[in-house]
Amino acid sequence: MSGLMKLVILVPCSFFFVALVKFLCDYLWRPLRIQQMLNSQGIRGPPYRFIHGNNKEVAKMRQEALSKPMALGHDIFPRVQPHIYTWINKYGKNYLSWDGVRAELVISEPELIKEVRKNSEKAFPKRKPTVFISKLVGNGLFSVEGEKWVKQRKLGNHAFHGESLKNMTPAVIASVETMLEKWKGYVGKEIELFEEFRLLTSEVISRTAFGSSYLEGQKIFDMLSKLAIIMHRNLFKTRIPWIRLGTIILKSCILYCEHSSHHISKYQEGMF
């Protein structure tokens, strides 16, 4: 009996020990080793913080930048990407930062950027999007590679061909006329232009892509806006493995897919 009890105790302890070693390897030893190797090559950056990397620093910098009024001018870099602006000035044009445990080599030298973009030897694979971004935009051109990329590129080229864009002109004109007609009721009042042009963009997409008005696809655009807000809030948060997404995100994604499928089916029926 004592041997069986020892086995019952030993198995969970062994499992816990292996899991602990793997956790420390992934979240401590490997990041510190990468940081040391790049430092030896002259590439510096903000130091790695256990589990969070530099995410807390990034979130704090962005919050501070957005809390201050923006100066009149075209230099928006310090406000839009305050962490990149700060670290380029501090560590140089190329530096190492950390998105959780994932190392990120940030480059801003034009020649290096050209080399990475050319990617003739396929040495630079596309970054896998975070779960929030993939839920929002799906597997689009920016994330897929190989045959999928070729197929989607052909579809995109056809949709944005000169003749295809010319055929969209009446729908765009109708959307703008609708907006201008609505503005006639705002004489003497302030207009929130950002919201108005957001609605105009949604209206144009609805008319050209689905042949319907914005009101018919309003639920889709509202859910996309909610997903975008959720994505922005979680962009620099460290996600613990095995922890699932919140129910709000999952429900929003399910509803978004259902409504999108419904409108796509209607559009296909109209085409065929």
The pLDDT-based confidence of 69 (bands split at 50, 70, 90) is confident
The answer to pTM > 0.75 is no
Instruction: Provide the mean pLDDT of the chain.
Output: 79
pLDDT at 178 over 60: yes
Between residues 60 and 222, the one the model is more confident about: 60
**Sign of the CA dihedral running 214, 219, 220, 224:** positive
Question: Is there a contact between 136 and 228 (Cβ–Cβ < 8 Å)?
Answer: yes
Between residues 110 and 209, the one the model is more confident about: 110
Q: What average pLDDT does this structure show over 163-168?
A: 84
CA distance 265 to 211: 12
What residues form DSSP beta bridges with 53? 99
Which of the residue ranges 52-61, 120-129, 184-193 would you say has the lowest mean pLDDT? 120-129
Q: Number of helices (H) and strands (E), helices first, in the chain?
A: 12, 2
CA distance 244 to 131: 10
- In the chain, the percentage of residues whose pLDDT exceeds 90 is 24
Burial (CB count <10 Å: 0-12, 13-18, 19+), residue 100: buried
pLDDT at 45 over 80: yes
pLDDT value, residue 267: 46
Q: Packing angle between helix 55-67 and helix 82-91, nearest 10 degrees?
A: 110
CA distance 176 to 197: 10
The pLDDT-based confidence of 94 (bands split at 50, 70, 90) is very high
Q: Identify the three-state secondary structure at position 182.
A: helix
pLDDT value, residue 253: 55
pLDDT at 260 over 90: no
pLDDT at 242 over 60: no
pLDDT value, residue 264: 47
- In the chain, the percentage of residues whose pLDDT exceeds 70 is 75
Q: What average pLDDT does this structure show over 254-266?
A: 51
Q: Identify the three-state secondary structure at position 105.
A: strand
pLDDT value, residue 160: 77
